[in-house]
Chains A and B, each alone.
Chain A
């Protein structure tokens, strides 16, 4: 019993930092509608800056002063980030800011590496709180008890700030109706900056506060961001008490998980999130999202048309050039192009549900990796011939999408995004921890194509035909009645339902089709590499796809494909440099700021401006 209590207290203590970081994220999302992926980076900065300040400020007072100063410092960094990176793009299309924050993650990662080096740093002990207290005979660190004691004060202070102060009133008003607040004479730009700074400061505080229990390392940004999103979603977006309850639930569960079910730790919180979202679609204390809040920013999308004669000619020429590549190019060029095509097909499948359907999935890697693993498992365990195993990749991914979609499609907006993320993490943890079947992070190796394909040129053509074929097929579907119905459901679900369209069913079918095509990409991928590792199922893989779709342009059909080509090319060139993350991050941020409609969208607008077309009559 005493052991239970001690475990529970550890969980509560862990909840303190988690709650701080999560409440910051929740505030930022509530007011600015930005899904701030860089929030974990501010937490990491808090940890590093905290260590530095604690070293130069000694003693009791110095320790706590260092924590507060860290909050101020990270808040300032947050404000600067917001002004430079986010302010220029508030008018950009839906969730485009998300990509910018991803660029910020990369930049901060490399800056931290430059300044503090690659070594993990151990956090200093809190002066006067080094030992343990015995509670019913069980040792509990003193610092844990202090954390548990101050967490309610933090909650109260935040609650007071939000409900009782003028700033709080403005924040709540802006959460409900930004335009109205602007019309009432509030300077929105500075309100956003202020809220972003406050949220970042909270993340920094969290990073500094957890130092005596942990430390600082370069992986903590990614390690916490998943957890923080889970907390915010379980608690309900924008609800502080909800975030608190969820932080406690997750932290306590994690502590018990480590003790009793060590193999479940990676996935436990995602299981909890999936269950909560299925039972309560808007989190424990969250309210239903206002429809259309995310989707309708920016200029309306132009009507679509298949390419005209020039367009088809250009694409045919391009494919013809690709087909001639094996005749003159070296092998590494072919490998690069195979990578590009695989990634382009993967991105096109995400673009299909995201662009035409308005379904922002954060877990699309589940189908790419799922397809890859399905084929690899068959080959590895049963020695199935490649031709058959390859067919199994899209099939298995489709089945997976059928299952996952059944739960996810009923949700909308950011909740849909988070539930897809939860399920993809489930799949990832299966691959990672079910070692008996998947061999964990040793991966499955020796998955080579049959002899007739097992050479650079034949496999290149195999990829070209299936990859380009898949992309062309998806484009065709977008122009078909089904694709139109999908867009109808995105543009106006009410109108679509009132003309006999079953919107959810159309979206479900599209989700499954996207899964099948991602699985096809995964199948090509696994036989091109000869192996598969759990990394293909990671969050980062899903985000890579999201980023290229946004970079290319959500509102343009070629967006996903062009973005994928651009990204694979840039990455291939950049990774040879030492601080490639910094550069890649800067490239992403630059594209986001300079080309708010994405690469294709901005080029098209420029082209139209050059020809002086004000309104395009589609003919």
Chain B
């Protein structure tokens, strides 16, 4: 399997405190991979370094064989990495479909265009994307009135605009109702399968993680303590120690 993302010896220190300590891993093409760990383990810090929001203290990040360490978020996005945030940052003053159109305008490099009306551009394309996340019925509602779960789905549609080869999703289901979580992750899994996108995501809901991910990594206190498939991670004594203080971890029968 070809490698789409490779991370080597990534470190981030704040005044001597190592938020992320010597983390190395890779994500294969077409893979759905989870990064889990307790609060404060360094997951979001890791993500922010991958996408360029934070500069690593040490280490390198390669996307598709080319180094992207320390590049700006917008440059990394242009290379084909999409990102959704833990707290959504959609444009409140635009409608749902305009949010998608905005991303499409950026993708087609029309940001500095002043000729056409923006809301006429790429509307069909945007509607197709909204259909993949089942948001087409709400296309013309103002973004500011959406329910939280719908915002998350909208964010996913936006992230798919430039046909990314890698999608970074920071807690995609946080704050959602349990059934909605499963639906959203099923949607992501379908997209991975249909479009060949690779997804790296962080998550707290273990049902979601074990039901959908091909591989799981566990981060604790800034260090990577496990990287493998569900069974390997489940039986890893160090992981059990972290999560349950030594008890048995996670039921075998995960439900989809």
Residues of A bordering B, CB below 8 Å: 300-306, 476-477, 479-485, 487-488, 490-492, 494-495, 497-502, 506, 509, 615-619
> A618 contacts which chain B residues (CB < 8 A)?
95, 140, 142
Closest 3 CB pairs of A and B: A495-B89, A300-B144, A492-B89
Asked whether A306 lies within 8 Å of B117 as measured between CB atoms, the reply is yes
Asked whether B74 lies within 8 Å of A480 as measured between CB atoms, the reply is no
Asked whether A488 lies within 8 Å of B140 as measured between CB atoms, the reply is no
Asked whether A303 lies within 8 Å of B72 as measured between CB atoms, the reply is no
Q: Known contacts being A488-B102, A615-B141, is A494 close to B89, with CB within 8 Å?
A: yes
Q: How long is the Cα–Cα vector from A490 to B102 in the complex, in angstroms?
A: 13
> A482 contacts which chain B residues (CB < 8 A)?
111-114
Q: How far is the CB of B69 from chain A (nearest CB, A)?
A: 17
> B187 contacts which chain A residues (CB < 8 A)?
none
Of B102, B140, B145, the contact of A499 (CB 8 Å cutoff): B102
Which one of B20-28, B77-85, B126-134, B196-204 is at the interface?
A: B77-85
Q: Known contacts being A301-B92, A498-B73, is A615 close to B116, with CB within 8 Å?
A: no
Asked whether B74 lies within 8 Å of A617 as measured between CB atoms, the reply is no
Q: How long is the Cα–Cα vector from A617 to B117 in the complex, in angstroms?
A: 19
Asked whether B77 lies within 8 Å of A484 as measured between CB atoms, the reply is no
Of B78, B91, B98, B161, the contact of A495 (CB 8 Å cutoff): B91
Asked whether A481 lies within 8 Å of B110 as measured between CB atoms, the reply is yes
Q: How far is the CB of A486 from chain B (nearest CB, A)?
A: 9
Q: How long is the Cα–Cα vector from A484 to B140 in the complex, in angstroms?
A: 16
Of B89, B114, B144, the contact of A480 (CB 8 Å cutoff): B114
> B214 contacts which chain A residues (CB < 8 A)?
none
For B117, the closest partner residue in chain A by CB is A479
Q: How far is the CB of A456 from chain B (nearest CB, A)?
A: 34
> B102 contacts which chain A residues (CB < 8 A)?
484-485, 488, 499
Residues of B bordering A, CB below 8 Å: 51, 53, 72-74, 77-78, 83, 85, 89-95, 98, 101-103, 105-107, 110-119, 121, 140-145, 158, 161-162
Residue among A306, A476, A481 with most chain B CB within 10 A: A481
For A491, the closest partner residue in chain B by CB is B91
Asked whether B85 lies within 8 Å of A491 as measured between CB atoms, the reply is no
Asked whether A302 lies within 8 Å of B142 as measured between CB atoms, the reply is yes
Q: How long is the Cα–Cα vector from A502 to B93 in the complex, in angstroms?
A: 19
Q: How long is the Cα–Cα vector from A485 to B119 in the complex, in angstroms?
A: 12
Asked whether B118 lies within 8 Å of A491 as measured between CB atoms, the reply is no
* 14 cross-chain CB contacts under 8 A: A300-B93, A479-B118, A484-B94, A485-B111, A488-B102, A491-B90, A491-B94, A495-B90, A497-B73, A497-B74, A498-B53, A498-B74, A499-B102, A509-B112
Q: How long is the Cα–Cα vector from A479 to B116 in the complex, in angstroms?
A: 8
Asked whether B53 lies within 8 Å of A494 as measured between CB atoms, the reply is yes
Asked whether B77 lies within 8 Å of A479 as measured between CB atoms, the reply is no
Asked whether B77 lies within 8 Å of A498 as measured between CB atoms, the reply is yes
Having A498-B51, A498-B89, one finds 4 other A-B pairs with CB under 8 Å, namely A302-B142, A480-B115, A481-B113, A482-B112
Asked whether B111 lies within 8 Å of A492 as measured between CB atoms, the reply is no
Asked whether B111 lies within 8 Å of A487 as measured between CB atoms, the reply is no
Q: How far is the CB of A214 from chain B (nearest CB, A)?
A: 48
> B119 contacts which chain A residues (CB < 8 A)?
305, 479
For A473, the closest partner residue in chain B by CB is B114
Q: How long is the Cα–Cα vector from A453 to B72 in the complex, in angstroms?
A: 53
Q: How far is the CB of B105 from chain A (nearest CB, A)?
A: 5
Asked whether B77 lies within 8 Å of A481 as measured between CB atoms, the reply is no
Asked whether B118 lies within 8 Å of A617 as measured between CB atoms, the reply is no
For A493, the closest partner residue in chain B by CB is B89
Of B78, B98, B114, the contact of A500 (CB 8 Å cutoff): B78
Q: How far is the CB of A193 from chain B (nearest CB, A)?
A: 31
> A485 contacts which chain B residues (CB < 8 A)?
102, 105-106, 111-112
Q: How far is the CB of B162 from chain A (nearest CB, A)?
A: 8
Q: How long is the Cα–Cα vector from A536 to B227 in the complex, in angstroms?
A: 67
Q: How long is the Cα–Cα vector from A484 to B144 in the complex, in angstroms?
A: 16
For A304, the closest partner residue in chain B by CB is B93
For B84, the closest partner residue in chain A by CB is A498
Residue among A302, A305, A498, A500 with most chain B CB within 10 A: A498
Of A480, A488, A498, the contact of B117 (CB 8 Å cutoff): A480
For A502, the closest partner residue in chain B by CB is B74
> B90 contacts which chain A residues (CB < 8 A)?
491-492, 495
Asked whether B106 lies within 8 Å of A501 as measured between CB atoms, the reply is yes
Asked whether B103 lies within 8 Å of A480 as measured between CB atoms, the reply is no
Q: How long is the Cα–Cα vector from A302 to B94 in the complex, in angstroms?
A: 7
Q: How long is the Cα–Cα vector from A2 to B111 in the complex, in angstroms?
A: 62
Of A303, A491, A498, A619, the contact of B83 (CB 8 Å cutoff): A498
For B93, the closest partner residue in chain A by CB is A301
Q: How far is the CB of A616 from chain B (nearest CB, A)?
A: 7
Q: How far is the CB of A395 from chain B (nearest CB, A)?
A: 18
Asked whether B118 lies within 8 Å of A484 as measured between CB atoms, the reply is yes
Asked whether B74 lies within 8 Å of A303 as measured between CB atoms, the reply is no
Q: Known contacts being A506-B111, A617-B141, is A484 close to B105, with CB within 8 Å?
A: yes
Q: Known contacts being A480-B115, A491-B92, A615-B141, is A499 close to B161, with CB within 8 Å?
A: yes
For B116, the closest partner residue in chain A by CB is A480
Asked whether A499 lies within 8 Å of B89 as measured between CB atoms, the reply is no
Q: How long is the Cα–Cα vector from A500 to B85 in the complex, in angstroms?
A: 15
> B121 contacts which chain A residues (CB < 8 A)?
481
> A488 contacts which chain B residues (CB < 8 A)?
91, 94, 102
> B83 contacts which chain A residues (CB < 8 A)?
498
> B140 contacts which chain A residues (CB < 8 A)?
617-619
Q: How long is the Cα–Cα vector from A481 to B102 in the complex, in angstroms?
A: 8
Q: How far is the CB of A511 from chain B (nearest CB, A)?
A: 14
> A303 contacts which chain B residues (CB < 8 A)?
93-95, 98, 142-143
> A500 contacts which chain B residues (CB < 8 A)?
74, 77-78, 106-107, 111, 162
Q: How long is the Cα–Cα vector from A476 to B162 in the complex, in angstroms?
A: 27
> B101 contacts which chain A residues (CB < 8 A)?
484
Q: How far is the CB of B157 from chain A (nearest CB, A)?
A: 12
Q: How long is the Cα–Cα vector from A481 to B51 in the complex, in angstroms?
A: 25
Asked whether A497 lies within 8 Å of B72 as measured between CB atoms, the reply is yes
> A497 contacts which chain B residues (CB < 8 A)?
72-74
For A513, the closest partner residue in chain B by CB is B114
For A301, the closest partner residue in chain B by CB is B93
Q: How far is the CB of A255 from chain B (nearest CB, A)?
A: 42
> B77 contacts which chain A residues (CB < 8 A)?
498-500
> A480 contacts which chain B residues (CB < 8 A)?
113-118
Q: How long is the Cα–Cα vector from A484 to B111 in the complex, in angstroms?
A: 8
Q: How far is the CB of B54 from chain A (nearest CB, A)?
A: 12
For A356, the closest partner residue in chain B by CB is B93
Q: How long is the Cα–Cα vector from A504 to B195 in the complex, in angstroms?
A: 33
Residue among B91, B107, B113, B121 with most chain A CB within 10 A: B91
> B74 contacts which chain A residues (CB < 8 A)?
497-502
> B113 contacts which chain A residues (CB < 8 A)?
480-482
For A303, the closest partner residue in chain B by CB is B95
For A492, the closest partner residue in chain B by CB is B89
> B143 contacts which chain A residues (CB < 8 A)?
303
Q: How long is the Cα–Cα vector from A481 to B108 in the complex, in angstroms?
A: 11
Q: How far is the CB of B48 from chain A (nearest CB, A)?
A: 10
Q: How long is the Cα–Cα vector from A480 to B117 in the complex, in angstroms?
A: 5
Asked whether A615 lies within 8 Å of B145 as measured between CB atoms, the reply is yes
Q: How long is the Cα–Cα vector from A495 to B83 in the complex, in angstroms?
A: 9
> A476 contacts which chain B residues (CB < 8 A)?
114
Q: Known contacts being A499-B77, A500-B78, is A491 close to B142, with CB within 8 Å?
A: no
Q: How far is the CB of B244 from chain A (nearest CB, A)?
A: 34
Q: How long is the Cα–Cα vector from A302 to B105 in the complex, in angstroms?
A: 21
For A615, the closest partner residue in chain B by CB is B145
> A487 contacts which chain B residues (CB < 8 A)?
91, 93-94
Residue among B110, B115, B118, B121 with most chain A CB within 10 A: B118
Asked whether B106 lies within 8 Å of A300 as measured between CB atoms, the reply is no
Q: How long is the Cα–Cα vector from A618 to B143 in the complex, in angstroms?
A: 11
